[in-house]
């Protein structure tokens, strides 16, 4: 069967047996449902009021951008499609339209530039996202860390990613082209030897399931590069 729509993936309690079997056997659907479950589970560091406020702001934002209607020149087929229930589904449908594709393009550029801000109530642990405060303040986990290991080597560590069976460590040059890759298996740490780095300036970790790339962490700059 085809992959369920995103609004269907966000309702695991309503899945049919066929849909459940498909999701459990599909790396893409399993990763999406795991990410959605982690998102809806919330974060113990975020109060209920703060989370509710963030959700309300997000819902209001989605309502605003999806209620603007189809732009001039949009296809009659796209404009005539009935609205789908749920802010997540409406946002996905908007992203598929001309204005959504333009916004996604700008977002991709911003992500590469590292200037995207995500509300604290909506994000999980981030690289360098450390709690500020006194000496007793708990440090938050970092997704991907890279530290110099001496003699030109680097040690890369990362957090488990939902649905991953193994991990691929990639070294990227300043233009983000892959110059070296190594399969780390199920390990959550890997040492990059000097001879494997070459012109590399960044490193990222790819989660693999049945050979498919499902999630990634990074890229993170190599210290001193």
Q: Is residue 93 part of a domain?
A: yes
Return the H-helix or E-strand segment holding 8.
helix 6-9
Whole-number pLDDT of residue 89: 65
**Per-residue pLDDT at 117 exceeds 60:** no
pLDDT in tens, 141-186: 458 899 998 888 999 999 999 999 999 999 999 988 999 999 999 9
Q: Is residue 134 part of a domain?
A: no
Q: Is residue 129 part of a domain?
A: no
What is the Cα–Cα distance from 218 to 204, expressed in whole angstroms?
4
Q: Are residues 23 and 55 in the same domain?
A: yes
DSSP state, 162? T
> Of residues 137 and 70, which shows the higher confidence score?
70
What is the Cα–Cα distance from 129 to 131, expressed in whole angstroms?
7
Q: Is residue 68 part of a domain?
A: yes
Range of the domain at 197: 144-221
Three-state DSSP class for residue 125: coil
Return the H-helix or E-strand segment holding 91.
helix 87-96
Whose structure tokens read 């695991």?
12
Q: Is residue 149 part of a domain?
A: yes
Q: Is residue 135 part of a domain?
A: no
> Of residues 1 and 3, which shows the higher confidence score?
3
Q: Is the CA virtual torsion 35, 41, 45, 46 positive or negative?
A: positive
Q: Is residue 127 part of a domain?
A: no
Q: Are residues 13 and 116 in the same domain?
A: yes
Share of the chain above pLDDT 90, in %: 22
Q: Are residues 168 and 211 in the same domain?
A: yes
Q: Is residue 137 part of a domain?
A: no
pTM > 0.85: yes or no: no
**Per-residue pLDDT at 187 exceeds 60:** yes
What is the Cα–Cα distance from 169 to 192, expressed in whole angstroms?
9
Q: Are residues 94 and 183 in the same domain?
A: no
């Amino acid at each position: 069967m085809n992959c369920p729509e995103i609004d269907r993936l966000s309702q695991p309690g309503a899945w049919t047996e066929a849909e459940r079997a498909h999701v459990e056997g599909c790396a893409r659907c399993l990763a999406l449902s795991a990410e959605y479950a982690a998102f809806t589970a919330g974060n113990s560091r975020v109060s209920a009021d703060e989370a509710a406020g963030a959700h309300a702001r997000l819902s209001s934002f989605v309502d605003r951008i999806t209620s603007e209607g189809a732009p001039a020149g949009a296809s009659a087929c796209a404009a005539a499609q009935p609205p789908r229930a749920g802010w997540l589904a409406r946002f996905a449908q908007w992203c598929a339209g001309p204005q959504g594709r333009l916004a996604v393009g700008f977002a991709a550029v911003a992500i590469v530039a590292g200037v995207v801000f995500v509300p604290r109530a909506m994000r999980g642990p981030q690289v360098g996202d450390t709690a500020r405060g006194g000496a007793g303040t708990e440090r938050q986990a970092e997704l991907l860390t890279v530290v110099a290991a001496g003699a030109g080597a680097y040690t890369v560590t990362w957090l488990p990613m939902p649905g991953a069976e193994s991990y691929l460590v990639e070294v990227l040059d300043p233009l983000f082209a892959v110059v070296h890759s190594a399969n780390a298996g199920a390990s959550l740490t890997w040492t990059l030897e000097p001879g494997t780095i070459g012109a590399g300036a960044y490193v990222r970790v790819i989660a693999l399931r049945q050979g498919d790339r499902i999630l990634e962490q990074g890229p993170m700059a190599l210290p001193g590069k």
